[in-house]
């Protein structure tokens, strides 16, 4: 049985981060692919020569849009296997119209984001970052019991916005702890919330009742600035907002204004724009933990995405359906 032809379409340096030598060997056992040929511009003569034979595009970060003009150069293309999360940036309507199968490694990125979120929730309830800042500023003993009488992870309330793959995994990771967990998701009903072991709330109620709120909703036109000034004002004094989803979900100007009062804290991993200007107050505010989009797969974690993509190509080569397919109907609910 012949192996399907595949072409790598991603940033030129990405394959060495995505695939270990053993993973590349496994890829070449199930697909005919040259790991030394990586196309990041699909309109070049070299890329078109590769596309002319390709049955599979193994895409990654940096893959350009696969539009109708590109598809004309890829008559044999049957599948796009993405070694990353979102596919909207490169899988165009022309791909869906042609019936091309699409798979994503988004589920493989769930673990790192959920682990980061869990760590930040536990540290937030402990007020660890605020205590660390206080200690560094004073450089003397701090009367922790007097100054931080309500900290800790016992019977605190955590609100999860979005029972997405990541949101659901965060809920699962929180189960061993003595925390009360709420969830708000327009696609979730009470029975589904019960199965997750959490209580369903309207978003406004979740904001008002939670000690920590963690965002795991997709970035869609309907969710842009879903946390506006009115909703941010619903947070109780001392609450912590965690955003590992997308910066556009929060009205950033309103958040800065709220944080400037010192009333709430925030852990911010994603912003709008993605890299803040040098004069942004978020760099300096003492009640903000600002990280440069580190929650997702980094370092060795990236290889989990590569392994997931190879697993999908193995299934395709064996005539089996993808384990992690993306359908056009999914687009309205995914980032």
Active site residues: 246, 274, 293
Region for residue 155 given its phi and psi (left: phi exceeds 0; alpha: psi -120 to 50; beta: otherwise): left
Query: Could you tell me how far CA 74 lies from the centroid of its own chain?
Result: 30
Burial label, 167 (beta-carbon count in 10 A; 0-12, 13-18, 19+): buried
Burial code (b: 16+ CB inside 10 Å, e: under 16) for 123-139 equals: bbbebebbbeeeeeeee
Please give the structure tokens belonging to residue 207.
């904001």
Start-to-end CA span in the chain (Å): 37
Q: What is the 3-state secondary structure (H, E, C) of 271-296?
A: CCCCCCCCCCHHHCCCCEEECCCCCC
> Residue 239: which residues within 8 A CB-CB, separation 6 or more?
210, 211, 212, 213, 264, 265
How far apart CA 106 and CA 91 sit, in angstroms, is: 15
Nearest to 125 by CA among 321, 326, 265, 314: 265
């Amino acid at each position: 049985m012949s192996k399907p032809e595949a072409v790598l379409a991603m940033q030129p340096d990405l394959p060495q981060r995505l695939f270990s030598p053993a993973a590349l060997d496994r890829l070449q056992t199930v697909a005919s692919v040259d790991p030394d040929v990586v196309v990041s511009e699909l309109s070049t003569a070299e890329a078109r020569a590769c596309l002319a034979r390709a049955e599979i595009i193994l895409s990654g970060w940096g893959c350009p849009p696969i539009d109708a003009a590109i598809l004309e150069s890829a008559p044999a293309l049957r599948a796009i296997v993405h070694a990353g999360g979102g596919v909207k940036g490169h899988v165009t309507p022309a791909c869906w119209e042609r019936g091309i199968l699409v798979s994503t490694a988004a589920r493989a990125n769930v673990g790192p984001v959920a682990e980061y979120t869990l760590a930040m929730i536990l540290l937030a309830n402990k007020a660890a970052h605020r205590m660390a800042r206080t200690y560094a500023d004073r450089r003397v003993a701090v009367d922790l019991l007097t100054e931080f009488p309500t900290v800790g992870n016992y019977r605190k309330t955590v609100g999860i916005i979005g029972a997405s793959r990541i949101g659901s995994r965060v809920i699962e990771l929180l189960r061993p702890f003595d925390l009360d967990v709420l969830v708000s998701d327009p696609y979730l009903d009470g029975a589904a919330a019960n199965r997750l072991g959490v209580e369903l709330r309207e978003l406004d109620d979740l904001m008002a009742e939670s000690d920590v709120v963690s965002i795991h909703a997709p970035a869609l036109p309907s969710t842009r600035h879903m946390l506006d000034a009115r909703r941010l004002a619903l947070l109780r004094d001392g609450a912590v907002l965690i955003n590992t989803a997308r910066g556009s979900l929060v009205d950033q100007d309103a958040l800065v204004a709220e944080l400037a009062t010192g009333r709430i804290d925030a852990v911010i991993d994603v912003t709008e724009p993605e890299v803040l200007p040098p004069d942004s107050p978020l760099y300096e505010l003492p009640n903000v933990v600002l990280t440069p989009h580190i929650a997702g797969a980094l370092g060795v974690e990236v290889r989990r995405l590569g392994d997931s993509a190879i697993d999908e190509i193995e299934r395709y080569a064996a005539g089996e359906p993808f384990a992690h397919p993306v359908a056009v109907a999914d687009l309205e609910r995914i980032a």
